[in-house]
Protein backbone atom coordinates (compact mmCIF):
# COMPACT_ATOMS: atom_id res chain seq x y z
CA UNK A 1 0.00 0.00 0.00
CA UNK A 2 1.34 3.44 -0.92
CA UNK A 3 2.15 5.62 2.03
CA UNK A 4 0.07 8.78 2.17
CA UNK A 5 2.07 11.94 1.74
CA UNK A 6 2.08 14.60 4.42
CA UNK A 7 2.88 18.15 3.38
CA UNK A 8 4.06 20.39 6.19
CA UNK A 9 2.97 24.01 6.06
CA UNK A 10 4.11 27.08 8.01
CA UNK A 11 2.53 27.67 11.39
CA UNK A 12 -0.24 30.31 11.16
CA UNK A 13 0.74 32.08 14.37
CA UNK A 14 3.95 31.94 16.35
CA UNK A 15 3.09 34.72 18.76
CA UNK A 16 0.14 35.94 20.68
CA UNK A 17 -1.34 37.77 17.69
CA UNK A 18 -1.83 36.80 14.07
CA UNK A 19 -0.01 39.15 11.69
CA UNK A 20 -2.84 39.04 9.14
CA UNK A 21 -4.97 42.18 8.86
CA UNK A 22 -7.58 42.46 6.08
CA UNK A 23 -8.30 45.76 4.32
CA UNK A 24 -11.69 46.00 6.03
CA UNK A 25 -13.45 44.36 8.99
CA UNK A 26 -14.61 40.83 8.16
CA UNK A 27 -18.15 41.77 9.27
CA UNK A 28 -18.51 45.32 7.93
CA UNK A 29 -16.74 47.88 5.73
CA UNK A 30 -14.97 49.79 8.53
CA UNK A 31 -11.20 49.50 9.17
CA UNK A 32 -10.14 46.42 11.21
CA UNK A 33 -8.80 48.46 14.10
CA UNK A 34 -9.64 46.05 16.95
CA UNK A 35 -8.12 42.79 18.19
CA UNK A 36 -10.48 39.89 18.87
CA UNK A 37 -9.57 36.89 21.03
CA UNK A 38 -10.15 33.44 19.56
CA UNK A 39 -11.61 32.42 22.93
CA UNK A 40 -13.59 35.27 24.54
CA UNK A 41 -11.88 37.18 27.34
CA UNK A 42 -14.69 36.34 29.77
CA UNK A 43 -13.68 32.66 29.67
CA UNK A 44 -10.46 33.69 31.46
CA UNK A 45 -12.59 34.46 34.51
CA UNK A 46 -13.42 30.75 34.66
CA UNK A 47 -10.08 29.30 33.54
CA UNK A 48 -7.20 31.70 34.28
CA UNK A 49 -4.65 31.74 31.45
CA UNK A 50 -0.91 31.27 31.61
CA UNK A 51 1.19 34.47 31.68
CA UNK A 52 1.51 36.09 28.27
CA UNK A 53 5.29 36.30 28.61
CA UNK A 54 5.47 32.53 28.89
CA UNK A 55 3.10 32.14 25.97
CA UNK A 56 5.01 34.54 23.75
CA UNK A 57 8.25 32.68 24.31
CA UNK A 58 6.99 29.17 23.79
CA UNK A 59 3.74 29.60 21.84
CA UNK A 60 3.46 27.25 18.88
CA UNK A 61 0.78 26.41 16.31
CA UNK A 62 1.07 23.47 13.95
CA UNK A 63 -0.68 22.58 10.72
CA UNK A 64 -0.28 19.89 8.08
CA UNK A 65 -1.99 18.54 4.99
CA UNK A 66 -3.07 14.90 5.04
CA UNK A 67 -4.19 13.82 1.57
CA UNK A 68 -7.06 16.18 0.60
CA UNK A 69 -7.82 17.36 4.13
CA UNK A 70 -6.29 20.23 6.03
CA UNK A 71 -5.86 19.65 9.74
CA UNK A 72 -4.87 22.41 12.14
CA UNK A 73 -4.63 22.27 15.91
CA UNK A 74 -3.93 24.78 18.68
CA UNK A 75 -3.84 23.14 22.08
CA UNK A 76 -3.04 24.74 25.43
CA UNK A 77 -0.16 22.96 27.10
CA UNK A 78 1.15 23.94 30.53
CA UNK A 79 4.39 22.00 30.11
CA UNK A 80 5.20 23.98 26.94
CA UNK A 81 3.77 27.20 28.34
CA UNK A 82 1.27 27.61 25.50
CA UNK A 83 -2.22 28.96 26.11
CA UNK A 84 -4.88 29.37 23.43
CA UNK A 85 -6.48 32.05 25.62
CA UNK A 86 -3.94 34.63 24.39
CA UNK A 87 -4.54 34.10 20.66
CA UNK A 88 -5.96 37.20 18.95
CA UNK A 89 -6.66 38.28 15.38
CA UNK A 90 -6.88 41.86 14.11
CA UNK A 91 -9.78 41.39 11.73
CA UNK A 92 -12.72 43.30 13.23
CA UNK A 93 -13.70 46.94 13.68
CA UNK A 94 -14.12 48.59 17.05
CA UNK A 95 -17.81 49.20 16.30
CA UNK A 96 -18.42 45.47 15.65
CA UNK A 97 -16.28 44.28 18.55
CA UNK A 98 -17.80 46.58 21.15
CA UNK A 99 -21.29 46.53 19.64
CA UNK A 100 -23.25 43.53 18.37
CA UNK A 101 -20.40 41.06 19.00
CA UNK A 102 -20.18 42.11 22.63
CA UNK A 103 -23.97 41.84 22.98
CA UNK A 104 -23.88 38.32 21.55
CA UNK A 105 -21.15 37.33 24.04
CA UNK A 106 -23.17 38.82 26.92
CA UNK A 107 -26.19 36.74 25.89
CA UNK A 108 -24.17 33.51 25.68
CA UNK A 109 -22.00 33.95 28.78
CA UNK A 110 -24.51 32.84 31.47
CA UNK A 111 -25.37 29.52 29.84
CA UNK A 112 -21.85 28.78 28.54
CA UNK A 113 -20.26 29.52 31.91
CA UNK A 114 -22.20 26.64 33.45
CA UNK A 115 -21.17 24.29 30.65
CA UNK A 116 -17.50 25.26 30.89
CA UNK A 117 -17.53 24.57 34.64
CA UNK A 118 -19.21 21.21 34.01
CA UNK A 119 -22.33 22.12 35.98
CA UNK A 120 -25.52 20.21 35.08
CA UNK A 121 -27.98 22.46 33.30
CA UNK A 122 -31.29 22.20 31.49
CA UNK A 123 -30.82 23.77 28.06
CA UNK A 124 -33.96 25.23 26.53
CA UNK A 125 -34.41 25.54 22.76
CA UNK A 126 -33.54 29.22 23.15
CA UNK A 127 -30.34 28.33 25.04
CA UNK A 128 -29.34 25.96 22.26
CA UNK A 129 -29.90 28.63 19.60
CA UNK A 130 -27.87 31.12 21.65
CA UNK A 131 -24.96 28.65 21.88
CA UNK A 132 -25.21 27.82 18.16
CA UNK A 133 -25.13 31.51 17.23
CA UNK A 134 -22.13 32.04 19.52
CA UNK A 135 -20.33 29.06 18.00
CA UNK A 136 -20.95 30.43 14.51
CA UNK A 137 -19.24 33.68 15.52
CA UNK A 138 -16.33 31.84 17.16
CA UNK A 139 -15.84 29.71 14.03
CA UNK A 140 -15.67 32.75 11.74
CA UNK A 141 -13.17 34.45 14.03
CA UNK A 142 -11.08 31.27 14.50
CA UNK A 143 -10.69 30.60 10.79
CA UNK A 144 -8.93 33.96 10.46
CA UNK A 145 -5.87 32.27 11.99
CA UNK A 146 -5.62 30.73 8.50
CA UNK A 147 -7.16 33.51 6.35
CA UNK A 148 -6.00 32.16 3.00
CA UNK A 149 -7.90 28.95 3.78
CA UNK A 150 -11.10 30.52 5.14
CA UNK A 151 -14.35 28.79 4.32
CA UNK A 152 -16.91 31.54 4.93
CA UNK A 153 -16.96 34.50 2.56
CA UNK A 154 -17.35 38.22 3.20
CA UNK A 155 -21.03 38.11 2.10
CA UNK A 156 -21.56 35.21 4.54
CA UNK A 157 -20.12 37.25 7.39
CA UNK A 158 -22.15 40.33 6.45
CA UNK A 159 -25.27 38.14 6.47
CA UNK A 160 -24.41 36.83 9.92
CA UNK A 161 -23.91 40.36 11.27
CA UNK A 162 -27.35 41.34 9.96
CA UNK A 163 -29.27 38.22 11.06
CA UNK A 164 -27.18 36.94 14.01
CA UNK A 165 -28.29 33.34 13.66
CA UNK A 166 -26.59 30.13 12.49
CA UNK A 167 -26.41 29.37 8.78
CA UNK A 168 -28.85 26.79 7.45
CA UNK A 169 -25.96 24.81 5.97
CA UNK A 170 -24.28 24.44 9.36
CA UNK A 171 -24.53 22.06 12.31
CA UNK A 172 -23.57 22.38 15.97
CA UNK A 173 -22.99 19.66 18.58
CA UNK A 174 -22.06 19.70 22.26
CA UNK A 175 -20.16 17.15 24.32
CA UNK A 176 -19.09 16.96 27.95
CA UNK A 177 -15.47 16.33 28.88
CA UNK A 178 -14.78 15.44 32.54
CA UNK A 179 -10.99 15.54 32.28
CA UNK A 180 -8.62 18.48 32.84
CA UNK A 181 -10.89 21.46 33.50
CA UNK A 182 -8.06 23.91 32.79
CA UNK A 183 -7.44 22.73 29.25
CA UNK A 184 -8.35 24.68 26.11
CA UNK A 185 -8.00 23.73 22.45
CA UNK A 186 -8.97 24.78 18.94
CA UNK A 187 -9.04 22.17 16.16
CA UNK A 188 -9.99 22.81 12.54
CA UNK A 189 -10.50 20.35 9.70
CA UNK A 190 -11.11 21.73 6.21
CA UNK A 191 -11.44 20.41 2.68
CA UNK A 192 -10.95 22.09 -0.68
CA UNK A 193 -12.61 21.09 -3.95
CA UNK A 194 -12.10 22.23 -7.54
CA UNK A 195 -15.30 23.45 -9.18
CA UNK A 196 -14.00 23.05 -12.76
CA UNK A 197 -10.93 21.48 -14.28
CA UNK A 198 -7.92 23.74 -13.99
CA UNK A 199 -9.62 26.13 -11.54
CA UNK A 200 -8.00 26.89 -8.18
CA UNK A 201 -9.12 24.79 -5.26
CA UNK A 202 -11.58 26.47 -2.89
CA UNK A 203 -12.25 25.57 0.73
CA UNK A 204 -15.86 24.36 0.66
CA UNK A 205 -16.29 22.97 4.16
CA UNK A 206 -14.70 23.08 7.57
CA UNK A 207 -15.29 21.69 11.01
CA UNK A 208 -14.08 23.62 14.06
CA UNK A 209 -13.94 22.08 17.53
CA UNK A 210 -13.45 24.19 20.64
CA UNK A 211 -12.71 22.74 24.05
CA UNK A 212 -12.92 25.03 27.05
CA UNK A 213 -12.89 23.25 30.37
CA UNK A 214 -15.69 20.66 30.44
CA UNK A 215 -17.28 21.97 27.24
CA UNK A 216 -16.59 20.58 23.78
CA UNK A 217 -18.40 22.48 21.01
CA UNK A 218 -18.30 21.20 17.42
CA UNK A 219 -19.24 23.36 14.43
CA UNK A 220 -19.67 22.19 10.81
CA UNK A 221 -20.15 24.57 7.87
CA UNK A 222 -20.37 23.36 4.29
CA UNK A 223 -21.42 24.74 0.91
CA UNK A 224 -21.51 21.15 -0.40
CA UNK A 225 -24.90 19.52 0.36
CA UNK A 226 -23.44 16.01 0.37
CA UNK A 227 -21.32 16.92 3.40
CA UNK A 228 -24.53 17.01 5.41
CA UNK A 229 -24.08 13.23 5.73
CA UNK A 230 -21.69 14.07 8.58
CA UNK A 231 -22.26 11.71 11.52
CA UNK A 232 -20.32 10.33 14.45
CA UNK A 233 -19.46 6.69 15.02
CA UNK A 234 -19.36 4.85 18.37
CA UNK A 235 -18.16 5.44 20.99
CA UNK A 236 -18.28 9.19 20.35
CA UNK A 237 -21.84 9.10 18.98
CA UNK A 238 -23.23 8.24 22.41
CA UNK A 239 -21.79 11.37 24.00
CA UNK A 240 -22.49 14.07 21.41
CA UNK A 241 -25.74 16.09 21.37
CA UNK A 242 -26.75 18.02 18.26
CA UNK A 243 -28.28 21.39 19.11
CA UNK A 244 -28.57 22.85 15.60
CA UNK A 245 -30.48 22.48 13.40
CA UNK A 246 -33.72 21.35 15.05
CA UNK A 247 -32.84 21.81 18.72
CA UNK A 248 -34.92 19.78 21.12
CA UNK A 249 -37.31 21.58 23.48
CA UNK A 250 -35.33 20.55 26.56
CA UNK A 251 -31.83 19.11 26.76
CA UNK A 252 -30.48 17.85 30.07
CA UNK A 253 -26.78 18.59 29.87
CA UNK A 254 -24.69 16.61 30.05
CA UNK A 255 -26.67 13.71 28.62
CA UNK A 256 -23.73 11.43 29.25
CA UNK A 257 -20.32 11.72 30.88
CA UNK A 258 -17.73 11.13 28.21
CA UNK A 259 -15.31 8.35 29.30
CA UNK A 260 -12.91 8.69 26.37
CA UNK A 261 -9.80 10.94 26.19
CA UNK A 262 -10.02 14.29 24.46
CA UNK A 263 -7.61 13.10 21.75
CA UNK A 264 -10.12 10.43 20.80
CA UNK A 265 -12.85 13.09 20.70
CA UNK A 266 -10.90 15.15 18.20
CA UNK A 267 -9.86 12.09 16.19
CA UNK A 268 -13.51 11.00 16.08
CA UNK A 269 -14.56 14.40 14.77
CA UNK A 270 -11.82 14.33 12.14
CA UNK A 271 -12.83 10.83 11.03
CA UNK A 272 -16.47 11.88 10.66
CA UNK A 273 -15.44 14.93 8.63
CA UNK A 274 -13.12 12.87 6.42
CA UNK A 275 -15.78 10.27 5.67
CA UNK A 276 -18.39 12.93 4.88
CA UNK A 277 -15.91 14.63 2.54
CA UNK A 278 -15.17 11.36 0.75
CA UNK A 279 -18.91 10.75 0.32
CA UNK A 280 -19.32 14.27 -1.09
CA UNK A 281 -16.52 13.75 -3.60
CA UNK A 282 -17.97 10.39 -4.69
CA UNK A 283 -21.38 12.02 -5.16
CA UNK A 284 -19.80 14.76 -7.27
CA UNK A 285 -18.02 12.20 -9.47
CA UNK A 286 -21.25 10.22 -9.89
CA UNK A 287 -22.98 13.43 -11.01
CA UNK A 288 -20.26 14.07 -13.61
CA UNK A 289 -20.61 10.51 -14.95
CA UNK A 290 -24.40 10.89 -15.25
CA UNK A 291 -24.02 14.13 -17.22
CA UNK A 292 -21.61 12.44 -19.61
CA UNK A 293 -23.94 9.53 -20.38
pLDDT category, 2, cuts 50, 70, 90?
A: very low
pLDDT for residue 120: 92
pLDDT for residue 224: 81
pLDDT for residue 34: 95
**Residue range 166-175: mean pLDDT, rounded:** 93
Sign (positive/negative) of CA torsion 21, 30, 201, 72? positive
Which tens digits make up the pLDDT trace of 62-121? 333 333 455 666 666 665 556 788 888 999 999 999 999 999 999 999 999 999 999 999
As a whole number, the mean pLDDT across the chain is 80
pLDDT for residue 130: 97
pLDDT over threshold 90, residue 123 = yes
Length of the chain measured in residues: 293
**Residue range 159-181: mean pLDDT, rounded:** 91
pLDDT for residue 84: 82
- Considering only residues 290 and 126, tell me which one the structure prediction assigns the higher pLDDT: 126
pLDDT over threshold 90, residue 173 = yes
The closest alpha carbon to 205, from 181, 184, 217, 188, belongs to 188
Q: What are phi and psi of 239, to 5 degrees?
A: -120, 10
pLDDT category, 189, cuts 50, 70, 90?
A: confident
pLDDT for residue 24: 96
- Considering only residues 177 and 158, tell me which one the structure prediction assigns the higher pLDDT: 158
The closest alpha carbon to 118, from 210, 48, 212, belongs to 212
Q: Residue 164 burial by CB count (10 A; 0-12/13-18/19+): exposed, middle or buried?
A: middle
**Residue range 171-176: mean pLDDT, rounded:** 93
Which tens digits make up the pLDDT trace of 18-75? 567 899 999 999 999 999 999 999 999 999 887 765 544 333 333 333 334 556 666 6
pLDDT for residue 71: 63
The closest alpha carbon to 12, from 54, 56, 60, belongs to 60
pLDDT over threshold 80, residue 274 = yes
Per mean pLDDT, which range of 80-89, 120-129, 147-156, 200-209 is the poorest? 80-89
pLDDT category, 6, cuts 50, 70, 90?
A: very low
Cα-based distances in Å from 10 to 55, 105, 222: 19, 32, 25
Please state the domain extents for the chain: 19-292
- Considering only residues 201 and 14, tell me which one the structure prediction assigns the higher pLDDT: 201
pLDDT for residue 149: 85
Amino acid sequence: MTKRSVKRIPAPNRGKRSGYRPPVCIFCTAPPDSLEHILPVWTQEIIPPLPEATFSEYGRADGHYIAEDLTESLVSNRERGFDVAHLRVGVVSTDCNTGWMSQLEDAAKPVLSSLIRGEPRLLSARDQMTISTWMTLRAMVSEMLWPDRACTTQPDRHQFRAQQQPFQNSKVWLAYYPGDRNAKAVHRYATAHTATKGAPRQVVAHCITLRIGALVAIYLYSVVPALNTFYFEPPLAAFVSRIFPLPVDRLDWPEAVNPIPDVQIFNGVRKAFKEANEAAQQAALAGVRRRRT
